[in-house]
Chains A and B, each alone.
Chain A
Amino acid sequence: MTEDKKQALQDSGLIEWSVFSELVAMDEDEEGFSKSLFQTFVDQVLETFKEIDENLKNKNFDKVSSLGHYLKGSAAALGLEKISSQCERIQNYGRKNNFDNFEFKEKKEFENEDDKWEELIHDALDKARDWFVKSRKALNEYFEDDF
């Protein structure tokens, strides 16, 4: 693993470095540990995003919230705080709690409350996806692999 790669990942700011270095340190007694962990995570994210989409379509907000909670934990465990904090938004909006007093840039009109929460969740989900794509790319480069 070259220093350059390390530096590049660290500079990306996508991952909490202290967490990541602890994960990587685990590879010393078990080669490939950190990599397998991220593979697990990537699979989990893809599956969970899909589930969130489906449940959001059915306005099953409780389920969306618990999926958000679930992913929040995994992302936080790996130091992927950008993703984790978007998941936290999904969790809270799913419970109809605008905990961060989020407001849309342009004012939007909603026919009913549910539409508003759905829109908020969409916002968080889009951002989570965005961070996930970036993080995945950065990790692919670091591990020289294709998660």
Chain B
Amino acid sequence: MVKRSTPKGEENFQQPFSSTSSSNQSGSNDFVKKLFQMLQEDSYKDIVRWTTNGDSFVVINTNEFTKEILPRHFKHSNFASFVRQLNKYDFHKVKIPNEEKQFYEYGEDAWEFKHPDFRVNDREALENIKRKGPTTKKISQTGLSSSGASSGADSSAVQQLRDDLEFLTSENGSLKHEISILNTKYKALVENIVSLRSFDERYYHSMNVLLNCLVQAGIKLPPLDFPNPALINMQSAPTHHASPQQHGRGKPLQHLSPPILSPNGSGNHQSIQPFDTGIMGQPSQSGYGSGQIHQSSGSQRQSGPSPPSTEPSNAKVHSPQQMSNTAQSPLMTNTGSLNAPSGQVGPNMSSSTSPDNPTQPSHGERTQSHPDITTTDLANPKFHVLLVEDDNVCIQLCRKFLMKYGCQVTVATDGLNAISTVEHTKYDLVLMDIVMPNLDGATATSVIRSFDTKTPIIAMTGNIEDNDLVTYLQNGMSDILAKPFTKDDLYSILSKHLLTNSDNGGAVSGRNDVTGLQGPAQQTLILPQETQQSTDPGLNEPIVKKQRMS
């Protein structure tokens, strides 16, 4: 690789022809002197130093070298241009064959450079090192040079490009390598976070059970700093949440949900001694006594928009979702029994953002153990769909359409919640937004795929560029639903994945009764007539074609 394309004699001879030569003659090799000076510095020996033979020098740590030493000695921090300079002075990179690389004493990523006149402790020889590039070029331009010189200039330029290319290629390779390591670590971390969260939640519930027992046994509890893991604010993005929260869920990031702290079934919320319900990361909230919270939640309930009579019967504790959760969190029963008598848990759903909207739905919006997860029940639902979406408007709309198609809908508002929800409950289909706080939909999907390969997961996205789509599918998405989508679009996705699957009996749970599901002609996936809710009179009516939803 050490190729002397421009013999020094020739260069010296040519110099008088060059208009720039004068500047090159004295002090022309400042660069080389600086380089020599730099190598005298003992403190750099882990980054750059003479090789053992003393006839070449080696950059051991290119990163540190670029960041620390180049700025100090050469007033820039660009390794490529440092290499270019070296090439101009006819230094060459010492090529280490690949098979020897691993035994190379300075490490695989080291760069060794060599010039015959550049030797340790030989300051005199430095004078022989001359800049070559511009001189020969000038000559070739003025036509005075021989063809040999011009080809020499060319080949040195080529050499330079080659070295640059080599540098960039190796840099690129190592970057790719680093990215893939980071990716692996990231996935492992996400999985860890998810499992930690579910542990936390289980501890939290167990603690609650214990506390309730103690309270019932008449033991006075000291103030406790007892954060609900699910309520810790990890949110960075807009916190327009799933839905304006009802009592029980609280504004999920602000209240510790009171029923959990209440004595089981006592209904006397004021009887509880104050806990310190401070939530980590929410200093403004800490110090609220539970009494206060209970009061505020109580008044929230009284101001609830709809009277108990509008509560559909199915809004009680009997949702399948609820049942399944009860198994792992005994607290759910408590929550249920406390909420049910109030009869108003569901309808509060939009009360905090739209107080002037008394006609808000009475679709049994249910409190789940998780503050960011809401399930809307239908009587005898055909399918259970998980909607993962952070945008309130889209949630309301999409949930509405899904319910019209006879699906029970659970909403999760970020990727982390989606993962833990899918871990606990079997869904027939997941609709997954991509851009979300905490964890994006693509990553969430790839994590879900590590334990669930069957459930159809549909990406809902406004980015429909080819690259993105490929990425989504690579992450394990089953299909893509471009946003904004029409109601018909939603229907065809649902029928494609739900109806096909139920034919195989595949991923779909036993709830489904294949008969009675209609194809697109009639456009209903709907409930049997007799289970229709009185609040949903239009449920089975034919759907107008070509309407859009978002």
Contact = CB atoms under 8 A, between A and B. Distances in A.
Given A23-B397, A32-B359, A73 B546 contact: no
Interface stretch (B157-165, B221-229, B350-358): B350-358
B240 interface: yes
Label chain A's interface by main secondary structure. Answer: helix
Interface in A2-56: 16, 18-19, 21-23, 25-26, 28-33, 35-37, 39-41, 43-44, 47-48, 51
A39 B547 contact: no
Nearest to B550: A77
A72 interface: yes
Given A28-B537, A66-B237, A66-B435, A73 B550 contact: yes
Contact of A22 (B358, B392, B547): B547
Contact of A44 (B240, B535, B549): B240
A26 B400 contact: yes
Interface string A111-129: 0000000000000000000
Interface residues of A, number: 37
B487 interface: yes
A47 B66 CA distance: 45
Contacts of B361: 30, 33
Contacts of B547: 18-19, 21-22, 25
Pick the most buried of B391, B393, B487: most chain A CB atoms within 10 A of its CB.
Answer: B393
Contacts of A43: 353-354
A67 B386 CA distance: 24
Contact of B550 (A48, A66, A78): A78
A72 B461 CA distance: 12
B150 to A, nearest CB: 41
Interface string B359-390: 11100000000000000000000000000001
Contacts of A73: 391, 393-394, 462, 483-484, 550
A112 B361 CA distance: 52
A137 B131 CA distance: 73
Size category, B interface: 35 or more
A58 to B, nearest CB: 14
B453 interface: no
Contacts of A21: 544, 547
B396 interface: yes
Given A19-B548, A35-B357, A73-B462, A40 B237 contact: no
Contacts of A47: 238, 240
Given A18-B548, A28-B538, A35-B357, A40 B238 contact: no
A131 interface: no
A53 to B, nearest CB: 14
B397 A77 contact: yes
Contacts of B549: 19, 22-23, 77
Contacts of A39: 350, 353-354, 356-357
A69 interface: yes
A40 B353 contact: yes
A67 to B, nearest CB: 6
Nearest to A67: B238
B536 interface: yes
Label chain B's interface by main secondary structure. Answer: loop
B545 to A, nearest CB: 10
A40 B396 contact: yes
A18 B483 CA distance: 15
A8 to B, nearest CB: 21
B550 A32 contact: no
Given A21-B547, A22-B548, A66-B435, A29 B538 contact: yes
A70 interface: yes
Contacts of A76: 462, 483-484, 550
B243 to A, nearest CB: 9
Interface string B106-130: 0000000000000000000000000
Pick the most buried of B390, B394, B547: most chain A CB atoms within 10 A of its CB.
Answer: B547
A40 B550 contact: no
A70 B391 contact: yes
A51 B240 CA distance: 12
Nearest to A51: B238
Interface string A56-81: 00000000001101101110111100
B550 A25 contact: no
Contacts of A31: 359
A30 to B, nearest CB: 5
A22 B487 contact: yes
Given A22-B544, A48-B238, 11 more contacts: A19-B548, A21-B544, A21-B547, A22-B487, A30-B359, A36-B359, A40-B350, A69-B435, A72-B462, A77-B549, A79-B548
27 contacts: A16-B548, A22-B487, A23-B549, A25-B544, A29-B404, A29-B537, A32-B358, A32-B359, A32-B360, A36-B396, A39-B354, A39-B357, A40-B353, A41-B393, A43-B353, A43-B354, A47-B240, A48-B240, A66-B237, A69-B435, A70-B237, A70-B390, A73-B484, A76-B483, A78-B397, A78-B550, A145-B356
7 closest cross-chain pairs (CB), A and B: A77-B550, A22-B547, A32-B359, A29-B538, A74-B393, A39-B354, A76-B484
